Amino acid sequence: MAVHNRVIIGTEYGRVEGTREDGQYVFKGIPYAAAPVGRLRWHAPQPPEPWNGVRPALEFGPVAPQNPMLGMEAMADFAVTEPQDEDCLYLNIWTPAADKARRPVMVWIHGGAFIIGSGSQEMFRGNTLVNRGDIVLVTINYRLGALGFMNLNEITRGRVPATGCEGLLDQIAALDWIRENIEAFGGDPDNITVFGESAGAMSIGDLLGMPAAKGKFRKAILESGGAATVGLLEDSVDTASRFLDILTLKGTDANPLYSLTVQQILSAQQKLNAVLHEKDNRLTPFQPVVDGMVMPEIPIHAIEKGAATGIPTLAGTNLDEFRLFNAMDRSFRKMDEAGMVRRLEAIIPTEHLPDVVTAYRRGRSQRGEDTGAGELLTAIQSDYMFRIPVLRLVEAQCRNRQPAYNYLFTWKSPVMKGKLGACHTLEIGFVFGNYDERFCGAGPAADALSHKMQDAWIAFARTGNPGCESLGSWEPYGERRNVMVLDKECRLETAPYEEERRVWDNFEMPVTKPI
C-alpha cells in the first residue's frame, strides 16, 4: 500500500513502512534476526521477534560494534558513522516497486577485513544499480571481529558455543529472511545473487563451501576475495587464548565473558590487533574458522569436490590490490630487498620464495614495469591475498563444469597522483554508481565504465551470464583463461599476467593468512 512517498509492506514478522528516495522505495533497518545480546551473545542467530502494528523502516539500524581501522579515515565513502550496538542484525532494501514482480535480487555482503563495515555505508546509498537494472538490492549487517569470528567453543569447553562462524551464520539467517519475504518487495526469492567485496567476497567463498548455506542463493559475484581466507581450528584457539589473556579471564567460567561490555571487548580486540600487527604485520586477528561443524572443511576443498555445483560464479580482482594497504604502512616507504624477503617469508614457503620473486621480476620486466622491492612486494601480496585465491575458485568451478567468469579491474585511482593504481575497493563505486571524483575519478570514461560494469553484474544476476550489449560477449574462464579487463577500454584477454600466475601452480596454499 503506497501513500504519497510512503509504502507499507507485510512481512512474516509484521508490517514495515518504507519511503521513496531517488526513484526507489527504500526500507531501512529491518531486523532479520533476534538481537544477539545477553545470553545470545556468541550464539547462532535466532529468528526475530514479531511485532504488532507498522514498524517504521525509515532509518538505518545500528551497525556491528567495531574499532576504526588505521588509515581508513581518508576514505569518506567507506567511513562507518552510524550508531553501533550489539543489536545489529538488520538489513536494508531498495526496490523499484513493491509490486510482486519477481525481479532479480542482489544481496550485498560488505567487506572490511571481518572487523569493520556495514550495510548502510555511504557508498551503497543513492545507488543507480537498482533503477538501471530493474533489480531489488538488499544490504545486510553481520557480527564482526571478536563477536562474530572468534572461536570460544574449545577454550571454554562448550560453555560459550562460539564456532568463529557466527558472522557467516548471520549472513545465512539474512538470506533465509530474504527468501521468505522478498517477493512482497518486488523480488524473486528463486533468483537471489549474493555479491560482495573483500571480506564480503571471502564470506561468499565460505558460503559456497558450507552445508548450512546450500540452496540459499542461485548465483555468486566475488570482488577481491576467494574461498581460502579462513582460520584453522588450532590457530583460532590460540587467538581466543590471547584475547582472554588480555582480559585476564579464564575459559572455565562463561559468566565473565557474557558480562563484558562491548567497549571491553573492542578494547581487547584493539590490543590483540596491535600484538598481531607487530608480530605478523596483520591488520586483523579474526576470520571465519574451519571448526569442523559449521564449516566442516576448508571451503575451497569443498568447492573442488562440487559443493558449489549449480551456482554460476563471477569473480575477479583489482590489479594493484595491496597498494591501498601499503600506502597506510609508514614502514613500507623504506622497503628494500631484505625487507621484502622478510615479509614474504611469513606467507610463502621458503623453498618456493626465490622462484616467486624471480617470476614477478621477470614478468614485470617484460612489460617494462618497475621491478623495485616495493613494487615486487605489492604485486606478490596482491596476488597472494586476492588474485590467486579467486583464480583457484574459478578454476575449481570450471573443472566441475560450472559457469565461471573472471575479470581484472585495471582502472587507476587519481589519488596520490595515481600511485594507488587499481587498488583494493576501487571498483565498488563503479558497481553501485556512487564513484567519487577524488578516489575513483570522474568524467565520460568513468561513466562508461560504471555503466558497463553495472550492466554486466545485472545481466549475470538475471541470467548467469555477464555478457551484455554495452560490454559485449564475455566468455567463461575455461582452459584458455579468458579474463575481462575492465578499464577505459574493456576487452576480453587470454591469460594476462601469465608469468606471475603460473609460478603459484608449483605449490599448494589451501589457506590464505589474513592481512
Q: Are 449 and 412 in contact (CB under 8 A)?
A: no
How far CA 480 is from CA of 124, 218, 311, 398, in Å, comes to: 35, 26, 21, 11
Distance CA 354, CA 358 (A): 6
In the chain, DSSP finds a helix count (H) and a strand count (E) of 16, 16
Which run of H or E residues covers position 31? strand 24-31
Residues noted as catalytic: 198, 321, 424
30 SS3 class: strand
* Contact (Cβ atoms closer than 8 angstroms) between residue 306 and residue 400: yes
Q: What is the DSSP string of 346-411?
A: TTS-GGGHHHHHHHHHHHHHHTT---SHHHHHHHHHHIIIIIHHHHHHHHHHHHTT--EEEEEE-P
Query: Is 513 strand, coil or helix?
Result: coil
State the Cα–Cα distance between residues 171 and 91, nearest whole angstrom.
Answer: 10
Contact assessment for residue 132 and residue 174, using Cβ atoms and an 8 Å cutoff: no
DSSP states along 273-338: HHHHHHHH--S-S---EE-SSSS-S-HHHHHHTTTTTT--EEEEEETTTTHHHHHT-GGGGG--HH
Distance CA 440, CA 166 (A): 33
Cell of 180: 521468505
Beta-strand ranges (E) seen in 165-274 are: 187-197, 219-223, 231-232
Three cell numbers written together for 121: 555505508
Distance CA 389, CA 204 (A): 13
Distance CA 363, CA 361 (A): 6
How far is it, in rounded angstroms, from Cα 322 to Cα 287? 18
Cell 575497493, residue? 425
Please tell me the distance from the alpha carbon of residue 314 to that of residue 305, in angstroms, as a whole number. 19
CB-side exposure of 512: number of CA atoms within 13 Å?
27
- Phi and psi at residue 404, in whole multiples of 5°? -145, 130
